[in-house]
A and B are shown apart, each in its own frame.
Chain A
Amino acid sequence: MNRDNTKGKILLQRVGLIALFNLAMLLVLIGRLFYLQVYQAEKYKTLADENRISTRVLVPPRGVVYDRNGVVLAANEQNFQALIIAEHTPDIDQTLKAFKKIMPLSADEEEKIRKDILNNRKFVPVKLKDNLSWEEVAAIQLNAPFLPGIVIDEGLNRYYPLGSYTAHFLGYVGAVSEQEQKDDPLLLVPGFKIGKSGLEKAFEHELRGKSGSLKMEVNAYGRIMKQIERINGKEGKKLELTVDSRLQQAAQDAFGDHSGAAVVLDVHSGEILAFVSVPSFDPNLFTTGISHQDWNALLHNERNPLTNKALAGQYSPGSTFKTVVALAALEAGVINENTTFSCNGKMMLGNHAFHCWKHWGHGSQNVVEALKNSCDIFFYEVALRLGIDKIAETARRLGMGKLTGITLDNERSGLIPDKSWKQKRFGTRWQQGESVIAGIGQGYVLATPLQLAVMLSRIVNGGYAVSPTFTKMSLKDKGKIKKLPYSKKNIEIVKRGMYEVVNGEHGTAAKARFNLNGVKMGGKTGTTQVRRISMQERRNGIVRDEDLPWKLRNHALFVGYAPHDNPKYAVAVVVEHGSSGSGVAAPIASAILQKVLGLNL
């Protein structure tokens, strides 16, 4: 009985312990609840929102690019896509089969589509085909009863109405590459395209616009339940260029089958009116995804359609450079209007002979005549007296030998050599003979077509240091253009020489002359050797340039301006392996100037 009492007491003691234990454990639960719901509440609120809210980036339309007259050069075109939503079709195989009857799919495409369907949730639309034509869209809609689950969706594609005419300065857009910084949410949107070259790249910031966002509540399976918030983005700014699309097309067409480049500038402002590099390519191929075949054809074409020759092509300016040398010599006082040199076909320097292009010589030549006839001997003599540094100084002031600062990628600086350059580059002294060669724009001298147009503009506008631009200049900016220290008289002498080149009797570009109600052009031809001519050939003199393989023929150049008495427009034309400046380049420049005069801008 005593033991029974003890048994009961022990039970009561132990029950007390058990009750305390239960109490303690439930307090632990309350403590944990406090930890999660008060101490860590913020963290979990964020996580719950991340679960619940799906943010979609709204893509703004890219800014439209216009020419100077409001003609659209780059637009956004509706892109119709066929999509399939798996949960809306009872039988995917049957639907795909029916779709293939209307739009054939390659085995690769079909495999990718099936993979996409498997990898996505059933309500996610999967792309079947994009860039559908109107006819294809109509066909799909007509057959809609047999195509359950297939919907048409429209997006925006960049489209260049003028295609290859504008490719080299507009550039094109393409997919964002792995390396590019993803600081803008737009760059993470699948299929988003950014400017990859040309003005599309240079003005990417303005053209892209600002993204909007759409916040939606989604459930655990990703299905959209409701819209929470919508922030509209800002569409890209429109871009108005100085280019005239009519002139651009005429200028490019003027080249025919030739390859080369041409730049037309407004001489007073530097505004670019036409910017040609031929052959060109169709930038629309890049937006819709260029085929391997097309890409290889572009890449391996010996005429380099992908290179923008107007600013990345460096050529010996040849005789077009004589305008620079003439101005430099007049300004330096080495010659005046009446100074003459006698040309008998060659000039000896030490025991080395420098030849004139005209083997029997031009006789006595002053500066105007020397320009008109493109007499090499005159300029050999002048360069010898002037020295390379004086020539280089003038050439650089006129915009050569350095980047023009145009808003496009891949511009090359050309080359204007001088004594210190030679010392630095080769570690040897400048030779007098090299000055002689530079005097006719050969040797080390290199220039891009764009630089030649700038150089000519700066001379014929009376010595104003205009710079090329694709965007219209404000009056204020025009007022800021620097005046170069050249006398009006000397500039007029050079211009008279250029007038004679075209309009004088037997001028080198006489065949390209025109007279539109008294408006004429001036200019300067240039033909530059691509290969050395051996003495043997010189003696035989039978191989005509036109008979050589294309790659070995001379480059043909012409810089021209109009109207002759009150210059407004300057053009530089380079025809690669065009054989003859007077025969090939000058007529192209003449056609371009006649066109621009006719447009009456």
Chain B
Amino acid sequence: MYKYYEARLKNRTLTLKEKLFNISLGYVLCIVLLATIGVITLYSAAGGSWTPWASRQASRFGVAFGLMILMSLIDIRYYLKYSTVTYIVVLLLLIAVEVSGVVGMGAQRWIDLKIFKLQPSELMKISLVLVLAKYFNNCTLNNIESTGGLIAPFLMAVFPAALIILQPDLGTALMLLFTTVVIFFAVGVQWWKFALVGGGVCALMPIAWHFLHDYQKNRVLTFLDPERDPLGTGYHIIQSKIALGSGGIFGKGFLNGTQSHLNFLPEKHTDFIFTMLSEEFGMVGGVLIILLNLVIIVYGYLFAFRTSSYFGKLVIIGLNTNYFMYVFINIAMVLGLLPVVGIPLPLISYGGTVMLSVMASFGIILCMDINRDINFGRNSFNED
């Protein structure tokens, strides 16, 4: 205990034991709780069976949990030091995916590493946050408030976003851009610049519409009016609302969701898992999920407040925003508030890629929080 305080006061690197002691238990507990609920829901989705989803998801979470702890124990200075290199490597991977996609016909989003499929766009979500945090860490306020200082970070975000749109994965690209906007906002870019860009985007909307794929146009149109095509694309939204609404306050009971088990609800184990959960556990279950996520997000901002380094604050804000967007977009989508864009509910939906990416983010956030007392200056580490 004494050594811990000593370390904090002396602003030096922590020992492994100190680091482990510093991990926020409440934060980790919420994450484990959500993942457990996810596994239980997947058990129900398979009609009360561990196969094919629940057991695999549980073991994946085990691996991802290890990854999270690993990421949290890495020396915080490495994140600052290697963020640019990482960004460049991930950008090259994105380009590689794009090229192989062109060569190998059709949409390609991942690189097959045999053990798992590496999805560079997921890596980009993290590395973009890191590289932007590093950039703004090194900026003066004058740089930030000048227009010229924003050109470099703007390009850093737009270039990968453009590559991801080409994949085509509009949802991920938009998430990337939104995260960038939030970081820009956090560092103090003036309001009027957002207003200007926002106005410009609205003006360009009709033109952008032409470049959307037909299925993307359909999703937007169907979102605006699900009854337009009740058996086609609107089916998902309508059936999701029926499943939710019929669940009522307390739900139909575990394993008793009629909409899910009779297959009226599509993608019940992936994108629409929140619907299935809320059908079986009702509004009580749905609100519990939202509140747990809220606690995780609030924890994040708490960490941001108590972290002394500017870099650490920005990394947490970026990754937290990223996580918030997953949760919000997925739930808003199944509630019929947003178009169906194929964003899963992290920790709950079946799937390894998002699980790994989200847990890695949590690991980095924890790392920032563990080393909250280490302050490094604008241009380099404070290594007195």
Interface string of B283-304 (1 = CB under 8 A from A): 1001100100110011001001
Q: For the complex, is A220 an interface residue (Cβ under 8 Å from B)? A: yes
Report Cα–Cα, A220/B262, bound state, in Å. Answer: 6
Whether A38 contacts B264 in the complex (CB less than 8 A), given A3-B142, A15-B186, comes out as no
B187 and A14 form a contact (CB under 8 A): yes
B144 and A7 form a contact (CB under 8 A): yes
Chain B count of residues within 8 A CB distance of the other chain: 51
Kindly count the residue-residue contacts between A and B in the assembled complex, taking CB atoms under 8 Å apart. Answer: 146
Report Cα–Cα, A32/B328, bound state, in Å. Answer: 12
CB neighbours (8 Å) of A225 from chain B are: 262
A29 and B335 form a contact (CB under 8 A): yes
B337 and A10 form a contact (CB under 8 A): no
Name the residue of chain A whose CB is nearest to the CB of B252: A48
* Interchain nearest-CB distance for A44 vs B (Å): 2
B283 and A33 form a contact (CB under 8 A): yes
Q: Which of A16-24, A152-160, A396-404 contacts B (4 or more CB under 8 A)?
A: A16-24
CB neighbours (8 Å) of B324 from chain A are: 22, 25
Q: For the complex, is A258 an interface residue (Cβ under 8 Å from B)? A: no
B328 and A11 form a contact (CB under 8 A): no
B241, B263, B331: the one contacting A44 at CB < 8 Å is B241
A-facing residues in B150-204 (Cβ within 8 Å): 182, 185-188
CB neighbours (8 Å) of A25 from chain B are: 324, 328
Given A6-B141, A11-B187, A49-B246, 11 additional A-B pairs, CB 8 A? A14-B187, A15-B317, A18-B186, A22-B321, A26-B328, A29-B332, A33-B290, A37-B245, A41-B246, A41-B249, A52-B258
B283 and A37 form a contact (CB under 8 A): yes
CB neighbours (8 Å) of B321 from chain A are: 18, 22
B-facing residues in A220-256 (Cβ within 8 Å): 220-221, 225
* Interchain nearest-CB distance for B143 vs A (Å): 10
Name the residue of chain A whose CB is nearest to the CB of B144: A7
* Interchain nearest-CB distance for A10 vs B (Å): 4
Report Cα–Cα, A23/B328, bound state, in Å. Answer: 11
Q: For the complex, is B342 an interface residue (Cβ under 8 Å from A)? A: no
CB neighbours (8 Å) of B314 from chain A are: 11
Residue pairs across A and B with Cβ atoms less than 8 A apart, 7 shown, are A8-B310, A11-B314, A19-B301, A26-B293, A29-B328, A44-B246, A51-B262
Q: For the complex, is A219 an interface residue (Cβ under 8 Å from B)? A: yes
B246 and A33 form a contact (CB under 8 A): no
Q: For the complex, is A12 an interface residue (Cβ under 8 Å from B)? A: yes
Count chain A CB atoms within 10 A of each CB in B141, B294, B328 and give the residue with the most: B141
Q: For the complex, is A143 an interface residue (Cβ under 8 Å from B)? A: no
Report Cα–Cα, A4/B309, bound state, in Å. Answer: 12
B290 and A29 form a contact (CB under 8 A): yes
Q: For the complex, is B242 an interface residue (Cβ under 8 Å from A)? A: yes
CB neighbours (8 Å) of A14 from chain B are: 185-188
Interface string of A18-61 (1 = CB under 8 A from B): 11001101101110111011101101110111011000000000
A-facing residues in B255-275 (Cβ within 8 Å): 258-259, 262-264
CB neighbours (8 Å) of B185 from chain A are: 14, 17-18
Q: For the complex, is B120 an interface residue (Cβ under 8 Å from A)? A: no
CB neighbours (8 Å) of B140 from chain A are: 3-4, 7
A45 and B187 form a contact (CB under 8 A): no
B283 and A10 form a contact (CB under 8 A): no
B249 and A32 form a contact (CB under 8 A): no
CB neighbours (8 Å) of B245 from chain A are: 36-37, 40-41, 43-45, 47-48
CB neighbours (8 Å) of A34 from chain B are: 283
CB neighbours (8 Å) of B188 from chain A are: 7, 10-11, 14
B248 and A38 form a contact (CB under 8 A): yes
Give the dominant DSSP class at B's interface: helix
Q: For the complex, is A218 an interface residue (Cβ under 8 Å from B)? A: yes
Q: For the complex, is B244 an interface residue (Cβ under 8 Å from A)? A: yes
Binding site for B on A (CB under 8 A): 3-4, 6-8, 10-12, 14-15, 17-19, 22-23, 25-26, 28-30, 32-34, 36-38, 40-41, 43-45, 47-49, 51-52, 217-221, 225
Q: For the complex, is B282 an interface residue (Cβ under 8 Å from A)? A: yes
A-facing residues in B327-344 (Cβ within 8 Å): 327-328, 331-332, 335-337
B243 and A48 form a contact (CB under 8 A): yes
Name the residue of chain B whose CB is nearest to the CB of A34: B283
B259 and A19 form a contact (CB under 8 A): no
CB neighbours (8 Å) of B337 from chain A are: 28-29, 32
* Interchain nearest-CB distance for A218 vs B (Å): 7
Whether A48 contacts B246 in the complex (CB less than 8 A), given A38-B283, A217-B262, comes out as yes
Of all A-B residue pairs in the complex, the 8 with the closest CB atoms, nearest first, are: A44-B245, A48-B246, A10-B188, A220-B263, A219-B262, A37-B283, A19-B301, A7-B141
Report Cα–Cα, A22/B182, bound state, in Å. Answer: 11
B187, B242, B305: the one contacting A48 at CB < 8 Å is B242
* Interchain nearest-CB distance for A227 vs B (Å): 15
* Interchain nearest-CB distance for A387 vs B (Å): 78
A12, A22, A36: the one contacting B241 at CB < 8 Å is A36
* Interchain nearest-CB distance for A229 vs B (Å): 15
Q: For the complex, is B313 an interface residue (Cβ under 8 Å from A)? A: yes
CB neighbours (8 Å) of A37 from chain B are: 244-245, 247-249, 278, 282-283, 286
Report Cα–Cα, A12/B316, bound state, in Å. Answer: 12
* Interchain nearest-CB distance for B16 vs A (Å): 30
B305, B335, B378: the one contacting A36 at CB < 8 Å is B335
Report Cα–Cα, A26/B188, bound state, in Å. Answer: 24
CB neighbours (8 Å) of A52 from chain B are: 258-259, 262, 264
Report Cα–Cα, A34/B247, bound state, in Å. Answer: 11
* Interchain nearest-CB distance for B352 vs A (Å): 26
CB neighbours (8 Å) of B304 from chain A are: 15
Report Cα–Cα, A14/B246, bound state, in Å. Answer: 40
Report Cα–Cα, A34/B140, bound state, in Å. Answer: 46
Count chain A CB atoms within 10 A of each CB in B182, B282, B335 and give the residue with the most: B335
CB neighbours (8 Å) of A11 from chain B are: 186-188, 310, 313-314
Report Cα–Cα, A51/B230, bound state, in Å. Answer: 13
B263 and A22 form a contact (CB under 8 A): no
Whether A3 contacts B246 in the complex (CB less than 8 A), given A14-B185, A37-B282, comes out as no
Count chain A CB atoms within 10 A of each CB in B142, B246, B331, B332 and give the residue with the most: B246
